[in-house]
Structure 1
Amino acid sequence: MHDVRTHYDNLKIARNAPPEVIRAAYKALVQKYHPDKHGNSERAAKILLMINEAYAVLSDPEKKARHDAWIRAQAPRPRPLPLPAAAPPAPVRRGGWMWVAALVLLAFGLGMVMALQLPGVAPHLR
């Protein structure tokens, strides 16, 4: 959901919170932001006003249902997924046959060296 501030956010509760949790959150926030604790600051008074408004809506089942419907209406519409970009062409590998040829020659050469060092090899091969 995009940045839509709801009464649930103001009371810092989940959308599926039962009435007991709503009431407990309201009480805790009222105690925290009470103007007497903040020297009658404007900020605390504004926050307390938001908390009172949120509780008034969420504690009334009809107002809460309208608020929930409003939240669902604010949900962004799903966008179609972007098409994947075409894969870049595979790099052309050149010279691979040279490695194969080098390995074959190396194996042949090692085989010849080993054959010449074996005792049962015919003397005309030595």
Structure 2
Amino acid sequence: MEINPQTGTRLDTHWPWQDKTPKEDGYYLQHRQQRSPRFLPRHKSENADIFESQIIRMLNKVHESIERNDIRLVEQERRELTELEWKQMSIVLDRLLLVIFVLITVVSTTTILCRSPGTEASTTS
């Protein structure tokens, strides 16, 4: 499909106004002189500036909220890691103290039993 640069119409269609040429048609010339809104120069208005400032303010608040959340998560992970280290330390210390308790109990029981006076049944008869 090709477009006629003079008329702006497709080449495979006929000109809808038989009595006028494209250059004589006022409607065509009027619209040809107007620019598409896409190509009009953009001027910032006060409303656009206010809208942009509101969007920027909202984005800054979202960014601050995300930063605070990241800091909170890092702090929470640090606390959980510290808690895990203390739990592991308490398990190790608990087992160490259990072994010490069992050793002291076995040694003291053995000592007490070994030092007790022996019953000499053969000397009393």
Instruction: State the TM-score, normalizing by the size of structure 1.
Output: 0.23
Instruction: State the TM-score, normalizing by the size of structure 2.
Output: 0.24
Larger relative CO (CA 8 A, sep 6+): 1 or 2?
Answer: 1
Specify which structure has the higher proportion of helix: 2
